[in-house]
Chain A
């Protein structure tokens, strides 16, 4: 029985999702092993992508191995759907796969992200792909890969506790504000890519599948749904997320990650949601902040 697929609209001369099939098989095998060993960094043969390392090549290769014609793709960069990195990666996948795209977290089946986890809770069946610059949590403490590999094998993570302790000794609190080290399923120390520590608790017991791709460092790792992800901390210095002195100036949210925007050189500033979809959805629902115009007026411009 023949099945017909709509692939004709993608760019001529390229395979579906850019990568060749053998590369996709290699990536897919690595992804399955990553899911089977939560938090462990599986090495893979990273390919050159048509943009430089550091722009999300690892996340793109994971997305290319996973994406299908029926997916609805959302791409965010620091929470925003409309920044350069997000726009160019989204456009790349539209040209290479002709998939539907969305800015709404709820509608997406596949979300590629740089440095944020969406504020809207994810659901079962969704896949979140993180772009990872440095996958090895111990790298700045131990530069040798042979050694960090052994440390993971032996579950020898004392050095990270010492680093956090030194933070407390010097600053009075743990000063790591992003890329906070976590222990996955009680076994592997993992770097959750440079997401703010505000997002770290969202990884814990998340119903969605979370995949991490590091292109330059050639590593893929994963957190399956409903997996324990515990930030490292101390009994007397428990893990805490950051707080802001104000609510979002546009939608009034007090439960989302806020960016500070400098308005003038006289100390004027505002805080706005980093997640543009979340902020937009709230304003659409009638929420207002300190500096927002009514939503309708903005839409009518």
Chain B
């Protein structure tokens, strides 16, 4: 494999960018809708589970160093199984990227480009993603490393600049809709940890594969803190968030920031930074999809696929007839895709592959595949 290599910080920022991109659109509100005032407690709870799952994933990958989930699938079920899993992950990345892009562009249109067709707003992003993917993965990760800290700063800034508007009492009733809703059906909020998907593809890209555990745990840890901060901002600011669906809750929170009459409308700067983050997220998703397709189709290079994936994302993004469908796809389907593909399917593959390896021991077949 000839992958450009990522250092520890770049790898962490790539995992984080998947979490961050979804929080910029409607993820925080979805979490609050499902667990109401208990969302912060629920996030601590599902965050703990996410950490346990990450430790499990890292442990399961220990026997497959420098392999991604596609290689592990091949080891487990042969070429056909590898292709099936590859197609599932390509679908996962392109679908999520397309729907997120569609919703983000819908909101951009409402706020800044009322007279421009959404096709052209989408096109701008697709062009940026195609150009970004002309370079190496390292290029995308380095740009992402520059953009991501700014995004994190904007979210921190939104929280601290709005302290005057925060009502900490909104955390009550402490159990939200009840124990079952918070801790049992609230497990659905594990869907917020879609960034784990990148962990399955990271090992071949790492400069120091021995730091895989550290990278995975640190990124999940930061993601949990980041998610709690986002949720706290929105939950404490808007009593109405459970009754009224506002587009991009973080954007709505940013609109409240004013420092006297001189510093106003800072949300415009935030939107600019968030656009760059969305481009980074899309570029990472396209790159992972391209590499996966290259692997399952035994292609020598993935570069000619750039335009195909660009057009695929563009087309899927245009499929929803209206905003209600695209929001449904992002709010409901995304969550189940994460739980189904990222958490259940992938961990099962890893578990079975480990069992197979244990059963076969150091047989010739095993050595040959790996």
B partners with A = no
Q: Which residues does B use to contact A, with CB under 8 Å?
A: none
